[in-house]
């Protein structure tokens, strides 16, 4: 065990039973569970403050404003950037759309996109520009030589999945971003699956924009982060206009506030900021190095267990720098809905089935929907063993042929 | 022969089912052992009531290994599976042999020769279903599906409809109507509220109405208002109400005289007085417990349905031997007074409302305390305020509770997609 043994008690959902069976939660790539510290922080806002920010002069408003901005500062420290670089968004998807829409791409612009991109990364760009997939080797890793060759075609943007939500594989973002910068391309990174699982210092990545969500890192749903450097922020057009993002409005014009406020139109998710700060505090208390060790340890176990079973086909098996996310096709079961339901209802194992919002990749690798197990800080080897034992029991009943 | 005796005619089958389940179905061994029972201990109906009831959670938690007879798999021939959220909104995967379901259907339909003739004369694959999306195994709640994608293995075409019935978009209504007419079904299998809604919408659009030979109304208690409209729109069709559950198939049907009969050949049925474990007297509110007979795939023993019935005494003038029992809706929705007595059930409420030419749909919601809230959707250009007030007064007299009555433009379906007339809401 790389994390403290008492950690599971911090997550009330793990006390739940489904028809008498303890919940085994292995769907953290979809969203993580929330510890009491986060739940308490959110309810504290509603219970004790509940005021809007940046608008009033009364004490409660000032207290909320201070806490909201303190959350921004805390997040900036976590990422190693300035607070002005941290834009609060509703989620990763919103942040990626803000960049795709805000850089004013034209249909003739070339954009290079990771082959394992989530729909949220690829679709906003595919809707606006000419997209080509980043080249990969047979083992699924990015082919850096071929990538360097593609950069000669002068792409406007390179869009990179830091960690795949399908295979758990990490991409060498720092190396890729440096190459992109040499060729004048912006780099935008989907870090939804990486920031929760290891220390990600943005200056080390060298990307122009990095997006992720609080809810995958123990925080609440409805708030995320777009970390955007000063250079890109200056040319990025806000996606929404409205209150809170302007300094001056008269009959003829308006003046945008400085970043990050110009990207946060309307009342934000204030309670979410309270919760996000509590989540960052919680992760820092655990230690991100320990969180990363735990993640690697579970990843090795999951891939080893899957490899022992001939009825499972692992998507991109083999050694890799990866997170504890495993996707498998299951022999003899094309519709995995039944399997996922039975894992849930009969064994208490909560995991995901489908195309995982990365359909082009899943279709290319598996040709069908897949089952995904994804672990986080509260998971133990027992959880993994229980899930595979349940699969072993269910497969003979559900498989055909 | 009393009604109670009629139920007990199938008791021997239940005893055999219990013994088989104990030996062959992994869930039942520990289930009986925990109660200190063995099948040999069960010799009388009273002994049988000592077997702990089963519920959805048991079949869900032990699916599939625990609820299948040893050696069976889902991939076996003739295994029919359906995923249902059911009336309660609790999901469940149901497994049954197709031939078992067919046999239950035919035995249930034996109470209505006219409906048997409809089935016998049906062209292959000419059934249309119009029911809450959660009741079907196919996606049917969006306009982006095709008739082909909604055609079940047995050829039934599931028509599209929104989860919130009365919020179904005009486009989806027109899609359903168009497919219904194009498919030209021999008979319909429908939720009564849904079918009344669709037929009203087709009439409003001056569309021809389907020339069906029969209509099977299931999924939900048929209100007198829905029946009035269905019969008026489809005057030549044989219309029956069926008591069915996705877990078990068809349990009962109305005979040509409109009397509800329960199938005591395929099931051992227990009607226990509401909130007790004693057999109910005729006319007494009761809950139905079902034990399958002869199910060699996934038997159900003392399955607690949560559905309320009252037993009718005496023989039916139609002459069929199956006992009669009136379906009263979900027990959880009953209005109960301070002494625990049931004062209003969905059926009782509908009897108060009657065919009601002044409304199309209604819903009475209630909490443990506070006034009962009656909303109804008036039929346009009718004088609805006065009969609505009379209905409110009748409910007040029946329940002893205050009743707030209001006309509404929309009434929401439950999470299950069903539109219930009486709903108890938790605060």
Residue A313 φ/ψ region, left for φ over 0, alpha for ψ in the -120 to 50 degree band, beta for the rest: beta
* Structure confidence at residue B88 as a pLDDT band (50, 70, 90): low
pLDDT of residue B8: 84
How many angstroms separate the CA of residue B59 from the nearest CA in chain A?
A: 9
Closest-CA residue of B relative to A17 is B61
Closest-CA residue of B relative to A337 is B83
Task: Tell me which chain A residues have a C-beta less than 8 angstroms from the C-beta of B75.
Answer: 332, 397-401
Task: Tell me which chain A residues have a C-beta less than 8 angstroms from the C-beta of B63.
Answer: 342, 345-346
Residue count of chain A: 401
How many angstroms separate the CA of residue B60 from the nearest CA in chain A?
A: 6
Taking an 8 Å cut-off on Cβ atoms, the answer to whether B65 and A20 are in contact is: no
In tens, the pLDDT along B337-365 reads 999 999 999 999 999 999 999 999 999 99
* Structure confidence at residue B4 as a pLDDT band (50, 70, 90): low
| Burial profile A58-86: b = 16 or more Cβ within 10 angstroms, e = fewer | eeebeebbebbeebbebbbebbebeebbb
pLDDT of residue B132: 84
Task: Tell me which chain A residues have a C-beta less than 8 angstroms from the C-beta of B73.
Answer: 396-398
Taking an 8 Å cut-off on Cβ atoms, the answer to whether A393 and B65 are in contact is: yes
* Structure confidence at residue B87 as a pLDDT band (50, 70, 90): low
Q: Is the pLDDT of residue B139 over 80?
A: no
Q: Is the pLDDT of residue A125 over 80?
A: yes
Indicate the residue of B58, B61, B74 with minimum beta-carbon distance to A398: B74
Please name the residue ranges forming H helices in A323-380. Answer: 337-347, 359-366
* Structure confidence at residue B3 as a pLDDT band (50, 70, 90): low
Indicate the residue of A20, A338, A400 with minimum beta-carbon distance to B61: A20
pLDDT of residue A317: 87
Share of chain B above pLDDT 70, in %: 96
In tens, the pLDDT along A197-241 reads 999 999 999 999 999 999 999 999 999 999 999 889 999 999 999
For residue B375, the cross-strand partners are B363, B406
Mean pLDDT computed over B107-135: 87
Indicate the residue of A337, A346, A400 with minimum beta-carbon distance to B75: A400
Q: Is the pLDDT of residue B86 over 80?
A: no
Indicate the residue of B60, B65, B73 with minimum beta-carbon distance to A345: B60
Task: Tell me which chain B residues have a C-beta less than 8 angstroms from the C-beta of A400.
Answer: 75
Return the structure tokens found at A48.
């004790």
Task: Give backbone dihedrals phi and psi of A396, rounded to 5 degrees, phi first.
Answer: -60, -30
Over chain A, what is the mean pLDDT? 95
Task: Tell me which chain B residues have a C-beta less than 8 angstroms from the C-beta of A342.
Answer: 63-64, 93
Taking an 8 Å cut-off on Cβ atoms, the answer to whether B65 and A398 are in contact is: no
Task: Tell me which chain A residues have a C-beta less than 8 angstroms from the C-beta of B93.
Answer: 338, 341-342, 345
State the greatest distance between any 2 C-alpha atoms of chain A, in Å, as a whole number. Answer: 72
Task: Tell me which chain A residues have a C-beta less than 8 angstroms from the C-beta of B81.
Answer: 338
Taking an 8 Å cut-off on Cβ atoms, the answer to whether A346 and B61 are in contact is: yes
Task: Tell me which chain B residues have a C-beta less than 8 angstroms from the C-beta of A17.
Answer: none
In tens, the pLDDT along A364-399 reads 998 888 999 999 999 999 999 999 999 999 999 999
* Structure confidence at residue A1 as a pLDDT band (50, 70, 90): low
Chain B interface with A: residues with Cβ < 8 Å: 57-58, 60-66, 68, 73-75, 81, 83, 91, 93
Closest-CA residue of A relative to B67 is A346
In tens, the pLDDT along B309-341 reads 999 998 999 999 999 999 999 999 999 999 999
How many angstroms separate the CA of residue A40 from the nearest CA in chain B?
A: 23
In tens, the pLDDT along A130-166 reads 999 999 998 889 999 999 999 999 999 999 999 999 9
Task: Tell me which chain B residues have a C-beta less than 8 angstroms from the C-beta of A19.
Answer: 57-58, 60-61
How many angstroms separate the CA of residue B129 from the nearest CA in chain A?
A: 23
In tens, the pLDDT along A285-334 reads 999 999 999 999 999 999 999 999 999 999 988 888 999 999 999 999 98
Q: Which of A263-267, B226-230, B269-273, B368-372 has the lowest mean pLDDT?
A: B368-372
Q: Which of B52, B64, B66, B80 is the mutation pick for testing A, counting most A CBs within 10 A?
A: B64
Q: Is the pLDDT of residue B110 over 60?
A: yes
In tens, the pLDDT along A49-89 reads 999 998 778 989 999 999 999 999 999 999 999 999 999 99
Q: How far is CA A143 from the centre of its chain?
A: 23
Taking an 8 Å cut-off on Cβ atoms, the answer to whether A342 and B63 are in contact is: yes
pLDDT of residue B368: 85
Closest-CA residue of A relative to B72 is A397
Q: How far is CA A135 from the centre of its chain?
A: 22
Strand ranges of the sheet holding B286-292, from the earlier edge strand across to the other edge:
B157-158, B127-130, B187-190, B214-217, B238-245, B249-254, B260-262, B324-330, B303-312, B286-292, B267-273
Return the structure tokens found at B149.
């994608």
How many angstroms separate the CA of residue A24 from the nearest CA in chain B?
A: 14
- By annotation, the residues of A acting in catalysis are 357
Q: At what angle do helices B192-204 and B224-233 cross, to 10 degrees?
A: 50
Taking an 8 Å cut-off on Cβ atoms, the answer to whether B64 and A398 are in contact is: yes
Over chain B, what is the mean pLDDT? 92
Indicate the residue of B61, B65, B91 with minimum beta-carbon distance to A21: B61
| Contacts across the A-B interface (CB distance below 8 Å) | 49
In tens, the pLDDT along B173-219 reads 999 999 999 999 999 999 999 999 999 999 999 999 999 999 999 99
Cα B234 from Cα B230, distance rounded (Å): 6
Taking an 8 Å cut-off on Cβ atoms, the answer to whether B64 and A394 are in contact is: yes
Q: Is the pLDDT of residue A91 over 80?
A: yes
Taking an 8 Å cut-off on Cβ atoms, the answer to whether B64 and A346 are in contact is: yes
pLDDT of residue A20: 87
Task: Tell me which chain A residues have a C-beta less than 8 angstroms from the C-beta of B65.
Answer: 346, 393-394, 397
Residues A251, A254, A260, CA angle at the centre, nearest 5°?
A: 160
Half-sphere exposure of A6 toward its Cβ, with a 13 Å CA cutoff? 0
Closest CA to B321 of B370, B261, B276: B261
Taking an 8 Å cut-off on Cβ atoms, the answer to whether A398 and B62 are in contact is: no
Q: How many helices (H) and strands (E) does chain A have?
A: 13, 17
Q: ipTM of the predicted structure?
A: 0.71
Cβ neighbours of A287 (radius 10 Å):
15
pLDDT of residue B2: 57
Taking an 8 Å cut-off on Cβ atoms, the answer to whether A341 and B83 are in contact is: yes
Closest-CA residue of A relative to B81 is A338
Closest-CA residue of A relative to B70 is A397
Taking an 8 Å cut-off on Cβ atoms, the answer to whether B65 and A338 are in contact is: no
Cα B198 from Cα B130, distance rounded (Å): 9
Handedness of CA A202, A205, A209, A211 (dihedral sign): negative
């Amino acid at each position: 065990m790389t994390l403290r043994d008492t950690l599971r008690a911090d997550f009330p959902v793990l006390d739940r039973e489904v028809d008498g069976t303890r919940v085994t939660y292995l769907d953290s790539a979809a969203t993580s569970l929330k510890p009491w510290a986060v739940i308490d922080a959110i309810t504290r806002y509603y219970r004790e403050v509940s005021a809007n920010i940046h608008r009033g002069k009364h004490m409660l408003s000032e207290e909320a404003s201070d806490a909201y901005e303190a959350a921004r500062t805390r997040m900036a420290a976590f990422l190693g950037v300035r607070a002005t670089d941290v834009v609060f968004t509703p989620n990763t998807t919103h942040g990626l759309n803000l960049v795709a829409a805000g850089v004013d791409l034209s249909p003739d612009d070339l954009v290079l996109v990771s082959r394992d991109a989530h729909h949220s990364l690829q679709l906003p760009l595919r809707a606006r520009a000419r997209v080509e997939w980043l080249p990969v080797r047979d083992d699924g890793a990015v082919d850096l030589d071929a990538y360097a060759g593609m950069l000669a075609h002068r792409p406007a943007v390179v869009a990179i999945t830091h960690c795949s939500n399908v295979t758990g594989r990490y991409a060498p973002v720092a190396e890729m971003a440096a190459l992109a910068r040499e060729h004048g391309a912006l780099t935008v990174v989907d870090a939804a699956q990486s920031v929760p699982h290891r220390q990600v210092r943005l200056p080390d990545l060298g990307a122009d924009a990095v997006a992720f969500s609080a809810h995958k890192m123990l925080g609440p749903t409805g708030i995320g982060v777009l970390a955007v450097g000063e250079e890109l922020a200056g040319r990025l057009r806000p996606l929404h206009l409205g209150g809170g993002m302007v300094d001056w409005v008269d009959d003829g014009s308006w003046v945008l506030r400085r970043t990050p406020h110009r990207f946060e139109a309307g009342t934000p998710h204030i309670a979410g900021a309270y919760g996000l700060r509590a989540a960052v505090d919680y992760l820092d208390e655990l230690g991100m190095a320990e969180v990363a060790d735990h993640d690697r340890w579970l990843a090795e176990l999951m891939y080893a267990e899957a490899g022992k079973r001939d009825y499972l086909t692992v998507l991109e098996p083999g050694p890799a720098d990866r997170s504890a996310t495993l996707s498998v096709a299951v022999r003899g079961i094309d519709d995995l809905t039944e399997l996922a339901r039975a894992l849930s209802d009969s064994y208490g194992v909560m995991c995901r089935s489908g195309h995982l919002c990365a359909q082009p990749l899943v279709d290319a690798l598996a040709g069908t929907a897949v089952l995904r197990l994804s672990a986080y800080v509260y998971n133990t080897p027992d959880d993994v063993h229980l899930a595979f034992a349940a699969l072993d029991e269910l497969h003979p009943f559900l498989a055909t042929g | 022969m009393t009604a109670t005796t009629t139920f007990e005619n199938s008791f021997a089958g239940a005893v055999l089912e219990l013994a088989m389940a104990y030996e062959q179905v992994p869930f039942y061994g520990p289930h009986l052992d925990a109660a200190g029972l063995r099948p040999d201990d069960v010799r009388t109906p009273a002994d049988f009531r000592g077997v702990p009831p089963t519920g959805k959670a048991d079949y869900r938690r032990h699916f599939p290994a625990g609820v299948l007879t040893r050696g069976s798999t889902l991939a076996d021939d003739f295994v029919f599976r359906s995923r249902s959220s059911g009336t309660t909104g609790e999901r469940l995967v149901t497994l049954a042999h197709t031939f078992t379901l067919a046999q239950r259907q035919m035995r249930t339909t034996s109470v209505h020769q006219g409906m048997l003739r409809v089935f016998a004369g049906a062209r292959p694959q000419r059934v249309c279903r119009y029911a809450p999306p959660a009741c079907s195994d196919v996606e049917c709640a969006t306009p982006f599906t095709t008739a082909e994608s909604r055609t079940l293995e047995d050829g039934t075409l599931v028509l599209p409809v929104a989860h919130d019935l009365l919020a179904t978009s005009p486009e989806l209504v027109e899609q359903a109507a168009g497919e219904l007419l194009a498919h030209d079904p021999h008979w319909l299998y429908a939720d009564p509220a849904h079918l009344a809604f669709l037929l009203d919408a087709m009439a409003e659009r001056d569309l021809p109405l389907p020339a069906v030979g029969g209509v099977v109304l299931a999924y939900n208690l048929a209100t007198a208002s829905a029946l009035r409209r269905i019969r008026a729109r489809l005057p030549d069709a044989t219309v029956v109400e069926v008591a069915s559950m996705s877990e078990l198939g068809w349990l009962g049907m109305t005979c040509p005289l409109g009397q509800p009969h329960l199938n005591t050949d395929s099931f051992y049925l227990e009607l226990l007085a509401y909130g007790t474990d004693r057999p109910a007297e005729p006319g007494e509110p009761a809950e139905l417990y079902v034990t399958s007979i002869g199910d060699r795939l996934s038997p159900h023993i003392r399955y607690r349905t949560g559905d309320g019935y009252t037993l009718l005494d005496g023989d039916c003038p139609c002459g069929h031997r199956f006992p009669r029992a009136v379906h009263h809706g979900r027990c959880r929705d009953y209005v109960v007074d301070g002494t625990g007595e049931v004062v209003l059930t969905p059926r009782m409420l509908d009897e108060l409302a009657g065919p009601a030419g002044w409304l199309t749909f209604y819903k009475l919601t209630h909490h443990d305390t506070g006034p009962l809230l009656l909303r109804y959707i008036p039929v346009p250009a009718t004088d609805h305020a006065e009969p609505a007030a009379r209905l409110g007064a009748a409910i007040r007299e029946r329940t002893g509770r205050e009743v707030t009555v209001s006309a509404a433009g929309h009434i929401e379906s439950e999470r299950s997609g069903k539109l219930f007339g009486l709903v108890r809401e938790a605060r």
